[in-house]
């Protein structure tokens, strides 16, 4: 169950790039809290600042004004931060080196840990992680990333998360490369991981249907701002922002029935 502890606290947090007339305000004065064990989705169109906000959460960018805190403190040491806060990105192939076997790279994940387990325990935990994402260890034995499909590689990223057992997972479009069936599987693995590891998850997507399915709360982003936030039912049944309505209209056909399952959403938004 969620407790009331704030994992992330953003107060008037802005992140700009460039200078003078070429300034880009990627994140614009956002204020929010994300609680322990919550699943929050950042939803918005391309270029609205989702990934920049994710990178602030990872300590890869820092606010140019305002504050951003993890567990009540600014993020200063990324090496320590990444022991607790990990990410899954859009393109799983870019996260693995093509010239090393998958298994050796899964084992290398232990490198960021403070206390490395014994070799035997590392091997066992790699096997457990593979089984957790429905891959039998012999299936990837001796294999390199280019020998697996995009969907299998996305599952390898999740296996890596299972090995690292982070407190917080930032999942930036983790199902962008897979078909609907594999997508549903990956989302189910993610939920299983969340249950097992009691993680806080920040899920990033263009697709408000997908976000509705997995989240406790939705943050709708537009041009660097959070234009609306609330529970999936609140946001989808009585959207307050025109940008939310646009996102509801843009839901891929295949995910529409996830939202239509909510009776209030049908009434308030018959087009969905
Ligand atoms: N390192 C950077 N330097 C300069 N501008 C940047 C940098 N990173 C992002 N931006 C700009 O910030 C804005 C927000 O980018 P961001 O990557 O967060 O978008 P996004 O919402 O993740 O989009 P998508 O859905 O396409 O991934 C864009 O205008 C982008 O060009
Ligand atoms: Mg992005």
Q: How far apart are CA 260 and CA 240, in angstroms?
A: 18
Q: What is the pLDDT of residue 271?
A: 37
Question: Do the Cβ atoms of 224 and 49 come closer than 8 Å?
Answer: yes
Between the CA of 46 and the centroid of ligand 2 the distance, in Å, is 7
Q: What is the pLDDT of residue 155?
A: 83
pLDDT in tens, the chain (272 residues): 557 899 999 999 999 999 888 899 999 999 999 999 999 999 999 999 999 999 999 999 999 999 999 999 999 999 899 999 998 876 767 778 889 999 999 999 888 877 888 999 999 999 998 988 888 999 999 999 999 887 788 788 888 888 888 999 998 876 666 667 667 777 777 788 788 888 999 999 988 988 988 899 999 999 999 999 999 999 999 899 999 999 988 877 766 666 654 444 433 333 33
Task: Report phi then psi at 237, rounded to 5.
Answer: -85, -30
Return the best residue to mutate from 13, 50, 52, 221 for the ligand 1 pocket (most ligand atoms within 8 A of CB): 52
- Relative to the alpha carbon of 50, which ligand is closest? 1
Residue whose CA is closest, atom 31 of ligand 1?
47
Residue whose CA is closest, atom 10 of ligand 1?
26
DSSP state of 101: -
Q: What is the pLDDT of residue 134?
A: 81
- pLDDT tens track for 208-231: 988 988 899 999 999 999 999 999
Instruction: Report the atom number in ligand 1 closest to the C-alpha of 49.
Output: 18
Q: How far apart are CA 160 and CA 237, in angstroms?
A: 36
Q: What is the pLDDT of residue 29?
A: 98
Between the CA of 129 and the centroid of ligand 1 the distance, in Å, is 32
- Relative to the alpha carbon of 43, which ligand is closest? 1
24 three-class SS? strand
- Relative to the alpha carbon of 60, which ligand is closest? 1
Domains of the chain: 6-268 (3.40.50.300)
Question: Do the Cβ atoms of 199 and 166 come closer than 8 Å?
Answer: yes
- Relative to the alpha carbon of 23, which ligand is closest? 1
Q: What's the token pair of residue 224?
A: 């660097």
Q: What is the pLDDT of residue 252?
A: 73
Name the residue among 159, 136, 141 with its Cα closest to residue 103: 141
Of the chain, the end-to-end C-alpha distance in Å amounts to 31
Question: Do the Cβ atoms of 161 and 86 come closer than 8 Å?
Answer: yes
Instruction: Report the atom number in ligand 1 closest to the C-alpha of 54.
Output: 18
Between the CA of 49 and the centroid of ligand 1 the distance, in Å, is 5
Return the best residue to mutate from 15, 16, 17, 223 for the ligand 1 pocket (most ligand atoms within 8 A of CB): 17
Q: Which residues contact 129 (CB under 8 A, 6 or more apart)?
A: 106, 159, 160, 162, 163
Q: Is 146 in the pocket of ligand 1 (CB under 6 A)?
A: no
């Amino acid at each position: 169950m969620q407790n009331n502890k704030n994992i992330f606290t953003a107060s008037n947090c802005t992140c700009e790039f460039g200078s003078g007339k070429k300034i880009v305000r990627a994140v614009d004065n956002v204020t929010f809290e994300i609680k322990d064990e919550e699943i929050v989705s950042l939803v918005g169109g391309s270029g609205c600042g989702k990934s920049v906000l994710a990178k602030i959460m990872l300590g890869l960018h820092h606010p140019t004004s305002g504050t951003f805190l993890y567990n009540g403190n600014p993020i200063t040491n990324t090496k320590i931060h990444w022991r607790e806060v990990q990410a899954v990105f859009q393109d799983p192939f870019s996260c693995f080196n093509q010239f090393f076997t998958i298994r050796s790279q899964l084992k290398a994940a232990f490198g960021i840990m403070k206390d490395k387990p014994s070799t035997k325990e590392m091997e066992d935990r790699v096997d457990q992680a593979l089984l957790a994402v429905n891959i039998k260890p012999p299936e990837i034995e001796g294999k390199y990333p280019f020998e697996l499909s995009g969907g299998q590689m996305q599952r390898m990223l999740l296996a890596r998360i299972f090995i690292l057992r982070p407190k917080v997972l930032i999942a930036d479009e983790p199902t962008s490369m897979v078909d609907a069936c594999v997508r549903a599987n990956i989302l189910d693995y993610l939920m299983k991981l969340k249950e097992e590891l009691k993680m806080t998850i920040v899920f990033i997507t263009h697709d408000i249907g997908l976000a509705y399915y997995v989240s406790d709360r939705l943050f709708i982003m537009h041009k660097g701002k959070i234009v609306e936030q609330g529970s999936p039912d609140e946001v989808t049944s009585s959207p307050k922002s025109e940008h939310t309505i646009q996102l509801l209209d843009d839901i891929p056909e295949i995910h529409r029935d996830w939202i239509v399952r909510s009776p209030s959403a049908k009434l308030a938004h018959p087009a969905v």
